Structures are given as C-alpha cells and as structure tokens.
Structure 1
C-alpha cells in the first residue's frame, strides 16, 4: 500500500533512531516510492498495459567512520527495525574511511516549478491506451512504407524522502508523462535504420500525434541512403546523438569522483578554456520542468544551478557531499541514486539537467549556413568511448547529408572519430530548439572539422 508524506517521514525518522540505538554514530534513511503505468507497442500493434507500484527504504549507518548499508522493500515497522540493525552491523564489519566527514546538515530548500501535475496522477490505463493509439495511427497513416517496431506511453508518480541524524527531514514528489515511438521504412530492397521520436514532460503536455508524425517522417527520409567521401565535415549533432556522446565522456570528466581518482582529463583545469566561447553549460538541478529537477539531491543537499563552463572556460566540477568534504568545498547537490529501485543503491555523483545555453538561430538557420556537412540523430558505439581521454569512434546512424544549406539524402554507414574535447573546441553555433534527453538539455549543436569516415 502506498504511504503518504507523514507516514513516509515517520518511517524514515524511526529508521534513523533505531540505527542510533544499535550503536551508529550517525545514520541516514532514504525512502523512494514510484507508481508507473505504461502501454506498450510492439510490431505495429498495441501490446500490453502494465501498472506497477514499488517502494522501499535504504539505510546508511556510520560506526567509527565506517559506512554500512542495508535496504528493504517491505516497509513494515518490524522490517525497518531489522534493516536498520543490518546497516549498523555492516558498518561495524567494515573498514573505517579516513575521509568520511559526516552526512549533510539541514539546509533551506527552494521550491521548484512545473514538476508535479495532478492530471498525470488521474490518468487511467484507458486514457494511456488512447494516447498510444493516436500516436501509432498517426505514424502509420503518414506513409505505407513505415513500420513501427516498438513504442510506449507512460505515466509516473514518484515520491522520495530523506532523514538523517542532523535534522534533515526532506520530502518531495513529482510526476512524469512520456511517449516514444521507434520506426523504420521499407522500400524495394532497402530497410532503413531504426528512427526514434519522443516527448517527455513533468506536466501533462505530451503530444502523441507529433511524435507519430516525426517518427514516420524520419524513417521515410532515411530511405535511399548514400555513401559519402571520407573527409572532415561540419556536423550538426541532434540532441540524442550529443547525449550519447557526452554521457560517456564530458559528463564523467566533470564528476568530482573521476577527477579525484585521476580518471578525468580535466583534473587541474579549472579556470582554463576547454571549449569554444560559444559553449556555456550549467548543471541545473532546479530547472523549471526539468526531467531531473527535485528540491534536494539523494543525500539531502539542496539542489542548485552550477556553472560548469562559461564561454568555454571550465568553472566547476560536480560534487556530492562525500567528495566535496574530501576536497574542502561545498557540495553542488549532485548525489544520485539510479536504477529501477533507487532505495537499493548508495548515492553516486550524477548530472541533473546538464544544460547547454541555446543560441539565437533556428535549426533551419543553423543548417542553412553549412556548405558541406551531415546532420546526426543517433550514434552507435558511444558506450565504448574513453572516459579519460574523451576519444570516441562511433557510427552515425541515422544521419543525413547537408549540401549548400539544405538537408539532402540519408547517409549510409558513416563513422565519426575524434575526442569530445576537440568537438567542444570546434562548436561554431548552437540553435534555439532546446529539448531534454536524459540528463542533457540542449539544442542542435554545430561542430566544425569533425573527422567522418565514409564507406
């Protein structure tokens, strides 16, 4: 049964007190509750409707600077007491950490905007089926060559709370609505790569018809792909492509744990220019309507807006409480517990809403200034990029050739290679068509002199 705010906080407070009673010097209780309903699409048909509620409690306990952890998804009083005891026993059996300097103390939290919508809570499975049907039908009506491989419409409610020994008593809740569709097109002897379109919001403002139309349009435009010569090109990275590239390179490079372990090429470069002056990046944990916006991070620190780069100059790394105290600086509020059940995880550093400041040009204007280039929507192989050096070698698929300011035919089998730091230094312009994919909030980004290997 789902718990309300008072019940959740009471449960967390009890867990902390029990851990202290078992001998913990300090303790922390993190509660997470999610309610998810989704309607799936498989092979061009509505496939399934799934509703799921999950909740659980993760407890960290500290004994003599050693940190122990235990969790449970059974939130009965007896189980919580047992879990708190396990966390303390885990700490007593662990080695002390000389760098441990305590959990965060109480902070003032600010209100965030457009992260909760009661309309999403009220959505029924039937209404989600209707949204999925509209999205699917719109795509299939666009062109008979379009085939829908899969898709989904989803509504999510999430609540989280954190209580610790230093009077931190935090609670927040949020909603999410999303729809996405994957398509391909078939014509005679050619099948396109899979193309994808999506819409995700914290409020109920998704547009399934637009997603269906755009997913179909992309697939049809990927027909009749041609090879291109190997040479440096001007490349426009769409949001998904840039998100894939940065997730395994730049975003890791600005995390304080990577820096302190000497696994970041940016160690010691605060105040240096590492990118084009066109590049300004903020990690904005309080972004209005941001997909990763919350009032506090996953160890209770207030969320904030952190300047990572300003006009190409590196300004700050991203910190959680542990890494910040180790370095003698303030946490940036980037502690994060991921996965399907966050209460099962201990915090790690992660970007929130990693936002590239948009430019003034429309997407069409950005493209119109290119004599010879390619537009890249997706990258294959980005996960194999080197997080230390920033080196990458990826397949740009789907992608389209740009000639004399116009988007032309699709490109077959092109590869991009280089380093993410060269990409950042060669950013010549950013469009104003900003949207969010995962942690990344960005427009189309135009980069000069990218090495492209054709077939």
Structure 2
C-alpha cells in the first residue's frame, strides 16, 4: 500500500470549496478520503483468496439560504471535482431551507492522537497475511478435531482523510488498522453447533491470531450438547460482543442529541439524574489511545475529545455534532461520523466514537465464581429491533452458557433475554478488569442482576 500525501487531499478540497462558493454557495465544505486495503479470506477451512482494494473520493456540501446540498464523486479529476461542487450548489438551491441551520464549523485546534498509525502495516505483503490467517486457522483446527472453521480472514487498511470548509477549517489525518477473524462450528454425532465468532482488531500491528483461532474453537466445542433452561430472572455476565450489540441500538442512541431533540430518547431532560448503577462511569473518547474510532477530528472537522456521559450512574452530557450543538447553543463534542466505507459518499451523522465503560478490579474468573445460578452471554441476536426510545429489547442469547455454583456448566439454547437497557444499567453489580475494544464499545465484562430470561419450552 502506498503512502498518502496530505497535500494531495487538501489541494483538491480547497479547489472544490472555491468552485462552490464562486457559483454562489454561502458556505461550502469538502470531505476527502483515500484508502487502500489488503485482505485474505478463509472459507470452509481453506485460505481462498487475497484481495487488494483502493478507494478515493470527494464529498461536497454547499449551503444556500439555510438549505443544504450534497454531491460526491469517486473519480478525482478536474472535471469531476468541478461537477461535484456545482451539483452540490444546485442541490442546495433546489432544497428546502432548514430554519435551525446556523453554520458550518469554524477552525479549532486539534489534539494529537496515539497508536492510530503504524508504518509497518502499509508495508505488509499478502504472503504475511496468508501466514497470519494460517496461524488462526491452525489454532482453531488444532484445538479439537470436532471443530470446523467456516469463515474468517485477515486484513489491513491504510486510510487518510481531509476536510476543508469556507470558514478556514483545514485538517488532515491518517490511520491504519489490522483485523483477524474466524468463524467456527463444532460437529459431533449428528449435532452441529451454531456459528461461533471471534476476532481481534487493532490500529497497530499487535494482533494475536492464535488466540482468535483457539477462542473461536473453544466456544464452538463448549456449545455442544446445549440444553434448554427454565424461564426466570437471573444474573448475567455480558461479554463485550453481546454488550456492544445490546447498547448500540439503545443507550448509544439515547445519548445522541439528535434523538433527544426529536424527543426519541428516554433520556431527554435527565441531565443530572441517576440512570445507572453507582459503578457505571462512561466516556465517549474520540482520542482514546489505539481506539478503533479514534481520529484527530470528526466528519465535519470539529476536534475529537473525551466527553463524560455518565459519572457514577448520573447522566452528565449528550453527544453533539455541529448541527445539534448549534441548535442547542453548546459546543460540538466531535461526534459527526462519515461512515467506515466510502466516508466521502454521505453527509455526516451523529455517532459515538469509543464508547468507554471505566473498568473495575474484578477478574473474569471472579465474576463467574460469585454467581450461584446465572448465565454468561457471548452474543445476542435481534438487537437491531430494540426500541431506541424506550430502551426495550428482546434478544436471543447465543452463544451462551449456564453458570452453576461458580462454574460454567453447559451451553444453553433458545434462551431469550428481555427488558430495558435502563434496567440493565441500574442493575449492574460488577465490572471486570478485562477491557476490550469492539466496534464503538470499549468495556470489560459486565455483570447484571435480575435479567429476565425466557426459556424455550
């Protein structure tokens, strides 16, 4: 993968902004991104392909009489740059004004980030990724002969982004990432387990493919001979993948200012109120060292920052982008998001960065040992249908295991979890010391009391 030059992006952005304003736009913004990737796939126990990808593009927002227009291109020539800028302006002229629009952001100082770029990653050849995939594959297959890897892969990404607007915002950043994943099943005497999944993603070159393969295999083997359980209310340990799925469509939406302003959040008007256990402190940290969502600035050029959302159970703040902040008369928290794939192709939306639960001192073993009768849940299905307004959820716990007398006893099948995310937050009784990054979440294992479980009859 080739290195990326800052001026390659900023010069294009300046040109697009000048064209749009010359045409008549009162405000204009250009967002650019360039990325290159290499990936190696795993299918049905085989390393099957190596794929190289490149993408680059420009997105232009133009404002005219409080109306916004947008256009983008993934071909960067003088003509396509001009066309995108002109189309954005014409789109603005044809759009309805937004009475709440104030302006695009003004320039502000950006903080430095740590461990988000590793010069080794762009130089990794496909053969080295094949070797990494082989380590994960061999670890899974070597764990137990009943394990069968059905999918997965290893990939690297180099990305650069820049934003320029007519108020003088001019920013550039670059970052790298590497990820390894594997999906497994276990088969024995005609029984086939559900697919178990494990992965490791980092911004620098420090992944552990052997752990990924071994852990995915362990989950599959321990999913054999699953049993039904009775309905009831039990303590549950949520591992990070399960907790991320649960929170993404509930709590994370509830603290977004756009949901609050549209009266679609149960947390509207609750700043300063107790909404969670005393053990819960949450930051949205766009500057987290090595964070999967860490950049110097957000999708509008506002500085990334660390925002205290919940302190010892008390709601302290919401997340804002430029639009929602100016609508309320506060500062943006740097939470405008452009998307991971082709970020130039869409206007910014409000999103969490690294949604971080402060860990406590319980080891994973202690969290389990202290439960006499409960569950440990590694994944949930159906979280996307949760209600962001009420926080209500009804999900299938899979894979999940029964805990009896302080030990993991057996896999469970058909167990559903139901309740509201706000009851979950209030009933958190312990947090582990094993923090992990999963998507937008950074958290340890979390133990929750009195969760409603609906067993299969």
Aligned with 1:264: secondary structure? Answer: coil
CA distance, structure 1, for counterparts of residue 414 and residue 8 of structure 2: 55
Contact 2:3 2:122 in 1 (8 A): no
User: What's the TM-score, normalizing by structure 2?
Assistant: 0.98
Indicate yes or no: 2:367 matched with 1:388. Answer: no
Partner of 2:92: 91
1:182, distance to aligned residue in structure 2 (A): 0.7
User: What's the TM-score, normalizing by structure 1?
Assistant: 0.99
Partner of 2:408: 407
Partner of 1:429: 430
Could you give the per-residue CA deviations for residues 189-218 of structure 1, whole angstroms, max 9, x where no partner exists? 321111111111000001111111111111
Contact 2:9 2:33 in 1 (8 A): no
Partner of 1:243: 244
Partner of 1:186: 187
Q: How does 1:143-158 map to 2 (within 5 A)?
A: 143-158=144-159
CA distance, structure 1, for counterparts of residue 427 and residue 135 of structure 2: 41
Aligned with 2:433: secondary structure? Answer: coil
Partner of 2:121: 120
1:172, distance to aligned residue in structure 2 (A): 0.1
Q: Over aligned residue pairs, what C-alpha RMSD do you find? A: 1.0
CA distance, structure 1, for counterparts of residue 447 and residue 23 of structure 2: 58
Q: How does 1:26-425 map to 2 (within 5 A)?
A: 26-425=27-426
Query: What is the count of residue pairs matched by the alignment?
Result: 455
Contact 2:4 2:160 in 1 (8 A): no
CA distance, structure 2, for counterparts of residue 133 and residue 85 of structure 1: 50
Unpaired runs of at least 5, structure 1: none
CA distance, structure 2, for counterparts of residue 302 and residue 34 of structure 1: 22
Runs of 4+ in 1 over 4 A off after TM superposition: none
The range that moved more, 346-355 or 404-413, is 404-413
CA distance, structure 1, for counterparts of residue 352 and residue 126 of structure 2: 32
Aligned with 1:118: secondary structure? Answer: coil
1:89, distance to aligned residue in structure 2 (A): 0.6
Indicate yes or no: 2:442 matched with 1:445. Answer: no
CA distance, structure 1, for counterparts of residue 64 and residue 223 of structure 2: 59
CA distance, structure 1, for counterparts of residue 233 and residue 389 of structure 2: 24
1:339, distance to aligned residue in structure 2 (A): 4.8
1:130, distance to aligned residue in structure 2 (A): 0.8
CA distance, structure 2, for counterparts of residue 120 and residue 286 of structure 1: 21
Aligned with 1:217: secondary structure? Answer: helix
Aligned with 2:120: secondary structure? Answer: helix
The range that moved more, 336-345 or 232-241, is 336-345
1:95, distance to aligned residue in structure 2 (A): 1.3
CA distance, structure 2, for counterparts of residue 8 and residue 33 of structure 1: 8
Partner of 1:18: 19
CA distance, structure 2, for counterparts of residue 189 and residue 423 of structure 1: 38
Unpaired runs of at least 5, structure 2: none
1:2, distance to aligned residue in structure 2 (A): 7.8
CA distance, structure 2, for counterparts of residue 3 and residue 332 of structure 1: 28
CA distance, structure 1, for counterparts of residue 287 and residue 340 of structure 2: 21
CA distance, structure 2, for counterparts of residue 60 and residue 422 of structure 1: 41
Could you give the per-residue CA deviations for residues 85-133 of structure 1, whole angstroms, max 9, x where no partner exists? 1111111111111111111000001110000001101011111111111
Could you give the per-residue CA deviations for residues 306-328 of structure 1, whole angstroms, max 9, x where no partner exists? 01100110011100000000000
CA distance, structure 2, for counterparts of residue 112 and residue 291 of structure 1: 12
1:431, distance to aligned residue in structure 2 (A): 0.2
Contact 2:276 2:426 in 1 (8 A): yes
